[in-house]
Amino acid sequence: MVYKYKKIPLVYDLPLTKSEKQGVALFNRAFQESEIQLEADGTTLTVLLREVDIERLREEGRRLAIYSQRALFQDVIKAVERIRSYGVRNHKRYYVDYDKERKVKRRKTKAQRRQRYYYAEGHHFSRLNRPFPRAYENAIVCGDSLEVLKRLPDNCVDLVLTSPPYNFGLDYEEDDDTRHWEKYFEKLFGIFDETIRVLKWGGRVVVNIQPLFSDYIPSHHIISNFFMSRKLIWKGEILWEKNNYNCKYTAWGSWKSPSSPYLKYTWEFLEIYAKGTLKKEGRPEDIDIRAEEFKEWVVARWAIAPERNMRQYGHPAMFPEHLVERVLKLFSYRNDVILDPFNGAGTTTAVAKRLGRRYLGIDISEEYCRIARERTEKAAFQPKLPEGNVSYGAKWI
């Protein structure tokens, strides 16, 4: 098999020594030809790179260090690290074969010609961010979000994280969660318009939504179209894999027949939108995401089990705490203002408090607000989480 490599020449003043050549031979034996190899030729050492597990490369580099006084193998590691085109495989950081992708010539000019997020051009968002009103800071307010949000000034919230009622017919305290779809979206979009208004320049909205497949309503697309029509930038989508396989298998009469196969979904979506700009300003000392978390969480498929304590809190559709933790640490800074206009049993506000964010939670149900207040009050600020223990409430799968 002839492999196509990315070639990185390392040029030295003096030719490679006998001992260094020995080290190169051992290096080549330690890795497959399909991964990485070294080629020594006079004063040049060429790195032939296809794909490699960075940790293993570092390990080999350390092992072979004794073969070179001028730290040749350190140079190899640095050369690979400098590329910065990484993926994650089996939870390991990999340099992956992005050569083909690189073949796009004049990438920047072409991107300009395509005009990225053209749908968000021509907006009239103000860049003037305002302080969050003291009266609503760290509060849980009972009421219709449409009305409550009107009391807030423009541009004062950093991040909105929410899961609206899905219109599935769930039994909420104040509502049976079933409306004509047009009425449902009209009400929802009224509230979303207010959240956009109160959002800061550079702020984000993260909406957790599950389409109702049995009604053939792609809510996640409809909601995305709405936010794009309001000129927010669609920042991306996270697939929340819940692995709940207890959904029904087929529509009646469609077993093993192409007549109308029923597709099964074990996941929901988190749609993310940004107001004005994709870049959110913040102080470096207010970043609390760890390197390991960042590497894992930017891979936009999150396997997190559904919340298991819903009965305890008396709410039928809660976020697992760990999901909220990921969103807050990945998309907001400490001290930011987090708003949940459908706060339910207060998962967003409780986790926001634990992670040192300010918060406002709104829900139409007195009972849910009572539960949310109690839960959020009990949550203690825990800025540094124990290493390797990042799962709270939800069980990992």
Ligand X SMILES: C[S@@+](CC[C@H](N)C(=O)[O-])C[C@H]1O[C@@H](n2cnc3c(N)ncnc32)[C@H](O)[C@@H]1O
* Contact set with ligand X (CB under 6 A): 144-146, 163-165, 172, 174-175, 315, 317-319, 341-342, 344-345, 347, 362-365, 368
In angstroms, give the least distance from the CB of 207 to ligand X. 11
| Residue with Cβ nearer ligand X (37 or 167) | 167
The answer to whether 240 touches 305, Cβ cutoff 8 Å, is no
Residue closer to ligand X (CB basis): 337 or 371: 371
- For the CB of residue 355, give the shortest distance to ligand X in the complex, in Å: 15
Nearer to ligand X, 60 or 325 (CB): 325
Q: Which residue is nearest to ligand X (CB)?
A: 344
Q: How many CB atoms lie within 10 A of CB 197?
A: 18
**Shortest gap between Cβ of 59 and ligand X (angstroms)?**
43
Q: Assess contact for 154 and 131: CB atoms under 8 A.
A: no
User: Bridge-partner residues for 48, per DSSP?
Assistant: 7, 37
User: Shortest Cβ distance from residue 192 to ligand X (Å)?
Assistant: 11
Sign of dihedral through CA atoms 355, 199, 272, 100? negative
Tabulate helix, strand, coil % of the chain (nearest 5): 35, 20, 45
Q: Which two tokens stand for residue 214?
A: 């049995």
- Closest to ligand X by CB, 31 vs 342, is 342
Q: CB of 124: closest distance to ligand X in angstroms?
A: 27
Residues 6+ apart with CB under 8 A from 393: 307, 308, 309, 320, 321, 322
Min dist CB 366 to ligand X, Å, is: 10
In the complex with ligand X, which residue's Cβ is closer, 23 or 361?
361
Alpha-carbon torsion (298, 301, 305, 310), positive or negative: positive
Q: Which is nearer to ligand X, 24 or 324 (CB)?
A: 324
